[in-house]
């Protein structure tokens, strides 16, 4: 068993379970007997902070959400002019240790202030873990996008943006939203257009939001970034024999991995795409309405096409088994890697003992409750935590923000120069007669990096460096990767805050 997993298992389990039981029954989430999502984030913070040297006063300041904006958006009903929809909206800013704050906007009927504050907090720690210089923010609108027309959604989005501008809750140096559940490039295009219409003097106004279409200052590579980050993080865990000694993982070959995936949206599909590309088998895909399973591996692209055409993964022709309803049971299939890439609080104390994965790679925000995490830890299951593993989106959003500040596309200044230099090298090698290059090798030398190449390269570098920072802390303090990520994040934010005089230590 790994040296990381031997440390204080019983103590961790007792702390997590007692913390969960201490929560008022009125604050319980949809996961019966579990704390709310925001309380789960607080429990993780409190547990990890014990491994830092900061005073309780400092920790209390770091933990609290600094600003929460709540307001209503009103739009007319398209069918009944006498009827109006009053829609609740939120924007939370967790930490100002670095500006701007950064975080997505979620459109969902499940959105509430508790969830938005929790996600804003996670964004602070996620950015710190991956050395992205932002504070954490998050937004939400209590609306089901499927129940409104495109015209109504545009009105909602533009009204939301206008209210943020009025309250100084958006701007390239203040607070920079991004897509999240229920939103995408379309909504971000409405936001940037509204911002630039109201504030045309802002020469870097495109940087008020990320995840935009390319023609409005977006970056090539943002769409797949979170799923690709999940792949890079897992690959780094499996990459060398040293990891086998540390974690006790016997199966290190990517092509041997059997994967169960929850959520087949943007994150889940792209994670599946990159794993399948390397030969891994996606044996089960789980959604809210059921799951599909094939012991030999599902065809990732065919399943995505099926979902696009039918609106569901169910009844996919390439599945050996389709389970309608009770989709969460699909998490219990025996596998090498379980990737929860859907909603928070999916692995709880009710099902943690049924998980049969060797590695859990958290592609979603907060998919594992503290009590469940302690159970997984005690069972020797390695968890790559959400605050590290699903940071790919904000990492590439950071690159998009930098692009918007400079108003220069990545690769524009140097790509053709690099290609000409590569051509000269290939020609010289061919003339020498000593080296025979294949067409692929020649193309690799000549190829100049595109914007997507650079975005993916920067993401890969970030995920590799962050993993080794986390691993170092985990080994030094003999704690899990999750707690190590939290410790690193808390220390980084505290040091910046102290340096800015935001508190005394």
Q: What is the mean pLDDT of residues 304-324?
A: 93
Same domain, 233 and 326: yes
Structural domain including 416 reads 411-449
Please name every residue paired with 89 in a beta bridge, in sequence order, or none if there are none. Answer: 71, 141
CA dihedral 212, 216, 219, 224 (to 10 degrees): 30
**Domain membership flag for residue 158:** yes
Same domain, 195 and 233: no
Task: Please enumerate in sequence order all residues whose Cβ is within 8 A of that of 414, keeping only pairs 6 or more positions apart, or say none.
Answer: 448, 449
Q: What is the mean pLDDT of residues 302-312?
A: 94
Give the tens place of pLDDT for each residue, 318-372. 999 998 988 889 999 999 999 999 988 899 999 999 999 999 999 998 899 999 9
Same domain, 183 and 240: no
Q: What is the pLDDT of residue 430?
A: 77
Concatenating the DSSP letter of every residue in 382-451 gives: EEE-HHHHTTHHHHHHHHHHHHHHHT--TTTTTHHHHHHHHHHHHHHHHHHSS----HHHHHHHHPPP-H
Instruction: State the pTM of this model.
Output: 0.86
Same domain, 182 and 237: no
Give the tens place of pLDDT for each residue, 39-57. 899 999 999 999 999 999 9
Query: Residue 108 to residues 67, 115, 194: CA-CA distances in angstroms?
Result: 21, 11, 22
CA dihedral 90, 96, 98, 103 (to 10 degrees): -10
Same domain, 248 and 212: no
Same domain, 231 and 320: yes
DSSP letter at 447 equals P
- With a cut of 70, say whether residue 12 has pLDDT above it: no
**Domain membership flag for residue 26:** no
Cβ distance 129 to 488 under 8 Å? yes
Total tally of structural domains belonging to the chain: 3
- With a cut of 70, say whether residue 24 has pLDDT above it: no
d(CA 362, CA 342): 9
Cβ distance 102 to 399 under 8 Å? no
Same domain, 252 and 372: yes
Give the tens place of pLDDT for each residue, 227-258. 999 999 999 998 865 566 677 676 678 888 99
Tokens of 7: 């440390």
Q: What is the pLDDT of residue 19?
A: 38
SS3 259: strand
Q: What is the mean pLDDT of residues 305-312?
A: 94
Same domain, 279 and 316: yes
Give the tens place of pLDDT for each residue, 474-498. 999 999 999 999 999 999 999 998 8
237: domain CATH number is: 3.40.50.720
**Domain membership flag for residue 237:** yes
Same domain, 303 and 349: yes
Q: What is the pLDDT of residue 23?
A: 33
Residues labelled as active-site residues: 138
- With a cut of 80, say whether residue 5 has pLDDT above it: no
Same domain, 164 and 210: yes
Give the tens place of pLDDT for each residue, 166-196. 999 999 999 999 999 899 999 999 999 999 9
Omega cis (within 30) before 250: no
How much is the mean pLDDT over the chain?
Answer: 88
Least confident of 3-7, 26-30, 121-125: 26-30
Query: Residue 437 to residues 339, 407, 423: CA-CA distances in angstroms?
Result: 40, 38, 13
Task: Please enumerate in sequence order all residues whose Cβ is within 8 A of that of 412, keeping only pairs 6 or more positions apart, or say none.
Answer: none
Domain C-terminal end among 193, 216, 239:
216
Same domain, 295 and 354: yes
85: domain CATH number is: 3.40.50.10860
Domain C-terminal end among 195, 216, 237:
216
Please name every residue paired with 13 in a beta bridge, in sequence order, or none if there are none. Answer: none
d(CA 40, CA 491): 20
d(CA 296, CA 286): 16
- With a cut of 80, say whether residue 6 has pLDDT above it: no
């Amino acid at each position: 068993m790994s040296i990381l997993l031997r440390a204080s298992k019983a103590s961790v389990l007792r702390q997590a379970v007692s913390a969960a039981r201490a929560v008022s029954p009125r604050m319980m989430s949809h996961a019966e007997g579990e704390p709310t999502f925001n309380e789960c984030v607080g429990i993780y913070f409190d547990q990890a902070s014990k491994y830092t040297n900061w005073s309780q006063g400092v920790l209390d300041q770091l933990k609290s959400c600094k600003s929460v904006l709540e307001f209503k958006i009103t739009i007319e009903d398209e069918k009944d002019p006498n009827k109006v929809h009053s829609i609740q909206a939120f924007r939370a800013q967790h930490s100002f240790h670095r500006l701007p704050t950064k975080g997505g906007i979620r459109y969902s009927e499940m959105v509430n202030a508790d969830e938005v504050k929790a996600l804003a907090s996670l964004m602070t720690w996620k950015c710190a873990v991956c050395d992205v210089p932002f504070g954490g923010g998050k937004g939400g609108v209590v609306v089901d996008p499927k129940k409104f027309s495109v015209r109504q959604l545009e009105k909602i989005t533009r009204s939301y943006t206008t209210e943020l501008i009025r309250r100084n809750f958006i701007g390239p140096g203040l607070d920079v939203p991004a897509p999240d559940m229920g939103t995408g490039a379309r909504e971000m295009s409405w936001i940037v257009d509204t911002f630039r219409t109201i504030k045309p003097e802002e020469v870097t106004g495109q940087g008020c939001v990320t995840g935009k279409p390319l023609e409005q200052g977006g970056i090539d590579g943002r769409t797949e970034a979170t799923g690709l980050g999940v792949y890079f993080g897992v690959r780094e865990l499996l990459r060398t024999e040293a990891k086998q000694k540390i974690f006790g993982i016997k199966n290190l070959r990517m092509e041997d991995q059997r994967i169960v995936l929850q959520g087949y949206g943007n994150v889940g599909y792209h994670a599946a795409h990159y794993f399948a590309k390397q030969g891994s088998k996606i044996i089960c895909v789980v959604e809210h309405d059921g799951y599909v399973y094939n012991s030999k591996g599902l065809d990732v692209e065919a399943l995505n096409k099926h979902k696009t055409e039918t609106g569901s993964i169910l009844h996919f022709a390439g599945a050996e088994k389709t389970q309608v309803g009770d989709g969460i049971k699909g998490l219990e299939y025996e596998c090498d890697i379980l990737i929860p890439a859907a909603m928070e609080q999916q692995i709880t104390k009710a099902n943690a003992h049924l998980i049969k994965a060797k590695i859990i790679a958290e592609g979603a925000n907060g998919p594992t409750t503290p009590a469940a995490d302690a159970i997984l830890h005690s069972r020797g299951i390695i968890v790559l935590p959400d605050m590290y593993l699903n940071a790919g989106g904000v990492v590439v959003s950071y690159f998009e923000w930098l692009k918007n500040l400079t108003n220069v596309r990545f690769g524009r200044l140097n790509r053709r120069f690099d290609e000409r230099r590569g051509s000269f090298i290939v020609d010289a090698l061919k003339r020498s007669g000593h080296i025979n290059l294949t067409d692929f090798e020649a193309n690799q030398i000549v190829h100049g990096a595109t914007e997507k190449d650079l975005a993916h390269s920067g993401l890969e570098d970030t995920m590799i460096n962050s993993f080794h920072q986390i691993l170092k802390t985990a080994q030094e303090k003999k704690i899990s990767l999750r707690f190590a990520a939290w410790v690193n994040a808390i220390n980084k934010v505290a040091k910046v805050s102290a340096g800015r005089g935001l508190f005394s230590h």
